[in-house]
Structure 1
């Protein structure tokens, strides 16, 4: 399996959830879905080093050759609508000098690549792209394949430093470096995605716009947690469904029917994983995340445990919608079992962290912190 914490997919952890037991069963029986998933997992492991090397080289060149970093970071801040993502102008020369070291830059890149969304989706993008090529009968182009997949992984990777800067819950000592890197990461993603064609780039830009709306809503809710409601939480979750859904759409080079089917499956799977990620983050940071579905449900029920139970219910609704995409697939679509297996891993990930929450039972601690946050 793939994830930031590989122990989640250990034998002991898999035995702790119903989905995990099914994963083990399919592994023992060598089901088609398991073999397909394992193939792309191994393929990604073999290619991830080369991808990281390409990413670091492109980023180093972009930053090193930029004659006006101050203008670059300001344009980025204007585009995403957040001055919080810009370092102080007086700090720019020092940051640029520090990141001019390939070893330092590689360290920062590897930190942000150490993300559940990157690790869980890299094999999926490879699989979806290959399935699309087969369905449409495209001439195989390794250059275009690398560019489109790299571009979308890099775009997803951009969300990592942006979230860490806004949340201030991870890598605090590297946040200024991340602020400097973000504009260049976006530029590289755009340049690579554009190689897929005008329709692919257009879809990306629309998705990125929606993701910014979600991020903006996230920031507003952090400033006023008591204003949380179901509508602004759905708006906040645009950051998941826009980024992941757009990536799915573009693995089919924005061509129907696969573009719409991949979009639905990836967008809803992304939202589902978002719920599990909120549970994981709550445990790792010893507080309910602001904003999050656990916060929304806990505020309205007055019961932290119930809030997390309802978050799991919400995640199941997202996953049910993702599974609808399977029913839209063309007949004899070779990757159906792969996607079914993928959704099993998503289900296990969420259930694992919910079980861990129940085991630790930090109900009173979380409740007092919620009450303090929403006063």
Structure 2
């Protein structure tokens, strides 16, 4: 996924000072982080863990019990600090839970901070249902400086004077980010061009022309404006690049911009205020039950006969469930995720041994 840092923004041809300086010194709140490296925000789920791996640690109260192999099933909400990679967080979660069956549901780069959801055990099979939720970010952009990565890790490629901008003009420009749109991904991204990662081509100095992709900005508001930096909060659809929004915001204001800091505050209804600090990931850390993590989906409690059908992937009769995905539960815990097809609920993902 290429979520390693490339260093602070530097001027082309030299080792000039970082473009993050103003945010770190004061003015606009310095958010110690930046957008997920080379991935759309929250798009790169790491679910390479082996779901059947045996857990070596003790059962946690909130984890689902009774799965074959004694494995834990649940989730951790982590407030990732600046510095570690998302995979570093996963490694620490694996050690704490005594299993290799763990993966995160959306990359945050080393400089980024905020909410990272780590699924443990067979819960890794449900990553897509976490990924598909809108995400809220608090971002800081610096006007007047353009970088090749659209964030503070890249090389400065242009510097322009920042016009005298009033609060109303900046607030309007931020609000105009809202809506459905075709977004041009950054050249330094995980998108593929002729089978090769875009960021690899860009690092080799090869021209990269990525096709725009449909995204939606559900909400956008100005938080603070102290020239040349502004803080703004956005809620976006999966696959949206916040650093591209910062770039586009600079273009709207006529001077260019790049992202200098980013913090993920929410994934759907999951809030970073509920997350654990990284140093809390130690043996014995409690896992959150999946029903709480997937609370955006409607749930149905199954009868004993329905449980037998669902465990074998067989459809059951639909009741009053709406169209879309439904949690299929046994004893209050998630057994599967199903989808209504006509008059039936057909299991899409089954967690064996629930």
TM-score of the pair, normalised by structure 1: 0.21
Write 1 or 2 for the structure with the bigger share of strand.
2
Higher relative contact order, structure no. (Cα contacts within 8 Å, ≥ 6 residues apart): 2
Write 1 or 2 for the structure with the bigger share of helix.
1
Rg larger for: 2
